[in-house]
Amino acid sequence: MLRNVHLLLGLFCSCFVLMYAFSSLQMSHNSWFPTKPIVTESQLKLPPYLDARAASRLLMDQGLRGEMMQVKLSATNIQFRIQRPGTVYEIAYDLQSGQTQVKTNRVGLVGMLNRLHHINGLRHDYALLNLWSSALLFTSLTLIALGLTGICLWFKFHKERFIGGVILGLSLIYGLGLILLMRSAS
Amino acid sequence: MLSWKREQSRIRDWIRRLHIYAGLLTVSSLLVYGIVGVTAMLQDDPAKRLRPVPQITFQEFTSPANLSDVDLANLIMTRFSIPLANPIPDWAIKHDKENHLVLDYYSVNSMTRVTVLETERKLKFEANRVGILEFLNRIHATTIRAQVPDLRVRGWIYYNYVSIWFMLFMTFSGLYLWLTSRPGWRWAQVSFASGLLLFCTLYWAIR
């Protein structure tokens, strides 16, 4: 039963775990995996004197998908972003004329994995992000379950009990020990 | 044929052993990653979270003459033993409205802001200790690129780094062990295929 749980959870979440692992490597070695975005610019015309939310809704209707963020208001224009993992639209909307400059920053696969790694929260306006968060929540619970079921499965392996016990003991002393030492530093 | 099967069985036993050892060796970080992931998904929007009240203290200090801001920051860090602090890069050094030098020392446990009050010959320390969940988040995110002198943090950084590689190994070795033991098990096939389909669909949809 435990073995089946370990196997099924591991298989289901393998792609998500690989996403976390590769993106972690990218963050540790960002010179190995450049994540420079491709930048394009375009212009759109919106009705004048809209507020940020109305302007962003119109832009989203025109295909700019994501969540609105980082709104900056001035007397003559509104600047904000519409973003989703991997794509950021930087918007500059002129209040008087409705002229809207859209600067699109889009990253490749490696950049995407980096942004997916950083998804958090379950209450986004953009529903797709909530789906991602739910999948990643399940993956995080799976990591804990894999660790715990893995320990139980190891223990059932009589041949590996001694060496495994030494490895587990040393790793817990080292890992948990460092956590305690760091946390208690003052 | 028989010797090839025997050889395959031997290789499989070794990979299973290494899969087990890798898991046992990195179980602390696996649990940290899992807890951090769950917290990240369930936590409030950062803007709505309660900020702790900083602990404010003052220390006597006279800035040595002719010292650059970066060198002064490093001197303060070592003289006052700001725990686990990262050295501050020059681009992060700032001044407040009264032109006092403001130094933000980030560590996995806290954020300590030091304001250099030169005319009063004092340093103002504002220490904000983070909660345990934020601490776990910070240690999980501390990569090998971090220039942290503290040995405790460096020790964790290397362990964290090894855990990432072991996580990759465990995923691939886990797939190998499945394919060489129970490839025909329908539940396993469904589980793998549905996870892969979910990932690809979500990726394509958000792309």
- Report ipTM (2 d.p.): 0.89
Average the pLDDT over each of A119-128, A167-176, B46-55, B109-118 and give the range with the smallest value: B46-55
Digit-coded pLDDT (tens) for A41-84: 999 999 999 989 999 999 999 889 999 989 999 999 999 999 99
Is residue A134 predicted with pLDDT exceeding 70? yes
C-alpha to C-alpha distance for A171 and A119, rounded to whole angstroms = 29
The DSSP secondary-structure symbol of B119 reads T
Is residue B40 located within the same domain as residue B57?
A: no
Partner-chain residue, chosen from B25, B198, B206, that has the shortest CB–CB distance to A171: B25
Name the domain count of chain A.
2
Q: Give the domain range for residue A145.
A: 2-31+127-183
Q: Nearest Cβ partner of A154 from B20, B167, B182? A: B20
Residues B31 and B63 in one domain: no
Give the pLDDT of residue B48: 60
Q: How far apart are CA A30 and CA B129, in angstroms?
A: 29
Tell me whether residues A137 and B38 touch, CB distance under 8 A: yes
Residue A157 covered by a domain: yes
Within a 10 A sphere around the Cβ of B139, how many other Cβ atoms? 22
Q: Are residues A48 and A12 in the same domain?
A: no
Out of B30, B83, B144, whose CB is closest to A146?
B30
Q: Is B28 in contact with A171 (Cβ distance < 8 A)?
A: yes
Residue B45: per-residue pLDDT: 64
* Nearest-Cα residue of chain B relative to residue A172: B28
Asked if B123 and B60 sit in the same domain, the reply is: yes
CA distance B172 to B170: 6
Instruction: Name the residue of chain A whose CA is nearest to B19's CA.
Output: A150
The pLDDT of residue B47 is 58
Cβ neighbours of A157 in B, within 8 Å: 20
Q: Is residue A115 part of a domain?
A: no
Same domain, B72 and B114: yes
Mean pLDDT, chain A, whole residue set: 92
Of A82, A171, A126, the closest CA to residue B155 belongs to A171
- Classify residue B81 by burial, with Cβ atoms within 10 Å: 0-12, 13-18, 19+: exposed
Residues in chain A within 8 Å Cβ distance of B206: 84-86, 116, 128-129, 132
Residue A186 has pLDDT above 80, yes or no: no
Q: Show the beta-strand stretches assigned E in chain B.
A: 55-60, 94-95, 101-106, 110-117, 122-129
- Give the per-residue pLDDT at A58: 93
Q: For position B178, what pLDDT does the model report? A: 95
pLDDT at B49: 62
What integer pLDDT is reported at residue B66 of this predicted model?
83
Terminal Cα distance for chain B, rounded: 48
pLDDT tens, per residue, chain B with 207 residues: 678 888 888 999 999 999 999 999 999 999 999 999 999 999 866 656 666 678 899 999 988 888 888 899 989 998 988 888 888 888 888 998 888 999 999 889 888 999 999 888 999 999 888 889 999 999 999 988 888 888 999 999 999 999 999 999 999 999 999 999 989 999 999 999 999 999 999 999 998
Return the structure tokens found at A87. 């794509």
pTM: 0.88
From the CA of A34, how many Å to the nearest CA of chain B?
15
pLDDT mean over A110-126? 91
Distance from the B6 Cα atom to the nearest Cα atom in chain A, whole angstroms: 19
Q: In this predicted structure, what is the pLDDT of residue B125?
A: 93
Q: B145 lies in a domain?
A: no
Please state whether beta strands B55-60 and B122-129 pair in parallel, antiparallel, or not at all (unpaired).
antiparallel
Domain around B167: 2-44+153-206
pLDDT of B50: 62
Considering the domain architecture, whether residues A26 and A43 belong to the same structural domain is answered as no
Is the four-CA dihedral A98, A63, A119, B87 of positive or negative sign? negative
Task: Please report the residues numbered 138 through 157 in chain B whose beta carbons come closer than 8 angstroms to any beta carbon of chain A.
Answer: 139, 143-145, 150, 152-153, 155-156
Looking at A106, A136, A166, the residue that finishes a domain is A106
- If phi > 0 it is left, if psi is from -120 to 50 it is alpha, else beta; for residue A87 that is beta
